[in-house]
Structure 1
Amino acid sequence: MTSSELLQQLCTQVSDLLQVLSTEIEPRAAAALQFKATPASWSVLECLEHLNRYSRFYNPALRKALAVKPSSATHAEVGFSWLGRKSYEMVRPENRKLQKTLKHMNPSQSALNPKAVLTEFRQHQETLLELLRQAENADLNRKGVPVEFFRLLKLRVGEALLFVVAHQERHVQQAQRALQQYVAQRETAPRLVI
């Protein structure tokens, strides 16, 4: 896949995430956003806060990596290292295997303000779209984005962009499932008839 094809695909995916946020998540009441099907599961807000925590690290790291002037053709085929493939495989939405998150990235048991979490999530998505536009003139095969949990390891710029977007899709889908469980629970809950 060429750099321009990858970037176009990622822009579409981030735009789709913003659409889900606007149509499915933001209109919901706080009770729906805070609902947890089980004590161990994450609510919609926890899913988005988890993504906010990752964005606080990766958006600045991507901005810094993209500030470096390209040293080669920017429309080359995007290559992937072993680390990049492994990182993507772990977070891609189709991989239903549960992954253990780092303690500082786990929002479970956090007091979350719905408006603040949603606003920050939207801002991070808009920043990511801006970064994807900046990446059109970057060498996506250049290593330059540190891995959050072990910063000595570096992903290539293209790998990092793919990882970030796939990770977001995975947890937005998890948030959508939490909303579906909330709706299903409300529909099956016994009602008091007077």
Structure 2
Amino acid sequence: MLSTILLRQLTDQVRELQTAARHLQTLDLAALNFKPTPASWSALECLEHLNRYSRFYNSELAQALSGKAVNMTPHEVGFSWLGRKSYDTVRPDNGKKHTTIKHMNPAGSQLGPEVVDEFQQHQQRLLELLAAAPGTNLNRKAVRVEFFRLLKLRIGEALQFVVAHQQRHVQQAQRAVAAAAVPRSAPVLVV
């Protein structure tokens, strides 16, 4: 995909994530902390998971995008094997469940509305990074992988990974709050 088109698409997707987060900010704490099942995450746990990743990847992306501007012309953005595998794992339409690494798992955390505020701040920072990206070679390997920092992703594939991962878990958060809105019937004793 051409770099200019990719960056425009990612920018639009991040703005959609911001809109979804603004909706979550209007909900009460009980809805945000509701877990559809005991093993699933609440909306706040979904966003806290994303915040933990954003703390790492926004910093990595900022470093990769800093430095001397190259004034790259629009170029085709490709995937390495690692980039494709990473992206395919987290894309929202991949229904396969995955377990996260321990330090990125927010299950059981005491979370409040500040989690949504932090998520919004990360999205704003990501928009700034996307705005700084057009003059950069998006095929350059420059973004360390969080769980194994000796590996690096290309800048373009890292941006796609981050946004797809966020879309996946924001959709999960939306399902959790939708489940919280479904009236629960009282258990019926059958004798």
The equivalent residue for 1:49 is 48
Amino acid at match of 1:156: R
Query: Which protein has the bigger helix share?
Result: 1
d(CA) in 2 for partners of 1:174 and 1:115? 17
The equivalent residue for 1:22 is 22
The equivalent residue for 1:100 is 99
Question: Per-residue displacement from partner, 1:76-115 (whole Å, max 9, x unpaired)?
Answer: 1001100000000000000010011000000001111x22
Amino acid at match of 1:188: R
d(CA) in 2 for partners of 1:62 and 1:27? 30
**Paired residues of 1:3 and 1:75 also in contact (CA < 8 A):** yes
TM-score, length-scaled by structure 1: 0.93
Cα displacement (A) at 1:74: 3.9
Matches within 5 A, 1:89-128: 89-112=88-111, 114-128=112-126
Amino acid at match of 1:55: S
TM-score, length-scaled by structure 2: 0.94
Runs of 5+ consecutive residues of structure 1 not aligned to the other structure: none
Dislocated runs of 4+, deviation >2 Å: 68-74
The alignment yields a C-alpha RMSD, in angstroms, of 1.4
Matches within 5 A, 1:159-174: 159-174=157-172
Corresponding residue SS for 1:108: coil
Identity among equivalent positions (%) equals 60
d(CA) in 2 for partners of 1:116 and 1:125? 14
Runs of 5+ consecutive residues of structure 2 not aligned to the other structure: 187-191
The equivalent residue for 1:69 is 68
Count of residues in correspondence between the two structures: 187
